[in-house]
Amino acid sequence: MRRKMAAGNWKMNGTEASLAEVDALIAAHPAPACEVLLAPPATLIAAMAARARGTKLAVGGQDCHCAASGAHTGDIAAGMLADAGASHVILGHSERRADYGETDAQVCAKATAARVAGLVSLICVGETEAQRDAGETLAIIGGQLGGSVPEGADGSNTVVAYEPVWAIGTGRTPTLAQIAEVHDFLRAELSARFGAEGAAIRLLYGGSVKPVNAAEIFATLNVDGALVGGASLKAADFGAIITALEAG
């Protein structure tokens, strides 16, 4: 059985004062029935990891460089994230692909570096509105999946998140049928490439997940959890999503 996962991406939000929400989340969900992960900005990873030590909360980074060290001003190596207390890292997020032109090959190299450092990679794939309207959704996602997920991926080192770009931060949510179509496709592709190991890789949905729509999304076949944006910034909102996932 794949263990369900609720992952929160704080993006470029949060200061030290925001860690009070982490304390509240831990207090409200001390023994969650699913895996819970928060990925704060790099400035907060060590402090959040210190608060989470001894609890069921995992902490992750939002990106890493493919090199272990070197002259890469402003970048963070996977080993540095691990040293700060992170156990996971989000890679290939649509905002990284769009804002920095990240390619599938770069994402794959980062995922390989993350594995060497002992981190679990959350690899993101997803189509734009124009690509969906052109009927290219599965072709785009299939290409991203094949190019971004490295050889040797399995359920212990890799999670894949489907994030329809047109639904992030817009309040728009795909229909359950659209979510199911993509998640079924991802499961088939991973299973065909990696066999039983591919069948064990968890698939998260990420696109305007909120307490009001979480339960029906989590009831969809091959949805093993969620990658949550804005709703993960508040303990009450993220906690409601965790509760919905536990009940699903």
Catalytic-role residue among 29, 65, 88, 93: 93
Catalytic-role residue among 95, 102, 127, 163: 163
93 is catalytic: yes
Q: Is 32 exposed, middle or buried (0-12, 13-18, 19+ CB in 10 A)?
A: buried
DSSP string across 11-79: -S---GGGHHHHHHHHHH-SS-SSEEEEE--GGGHHHHHHHHTTSSEEEEES--BSSSSSS-TT--BHH
Inter-residue contact 38 to 8 (CB < 8 Å): yes
Tokens of 179: 């979510």
**Four-residue CA torsion sign, 217, 5, 104, 39:** positive
Q: Which residues are bridge partners to 35 per DSSP?
A: 5
Separation of CA 217 from chain center? 16
Which SS3 state, helix, strand or coil, does residue 116 take?
Answer: helix
DSSP element (H, E) containing 161: strand 158-162
Enumerate the active-site residues: 93, 163
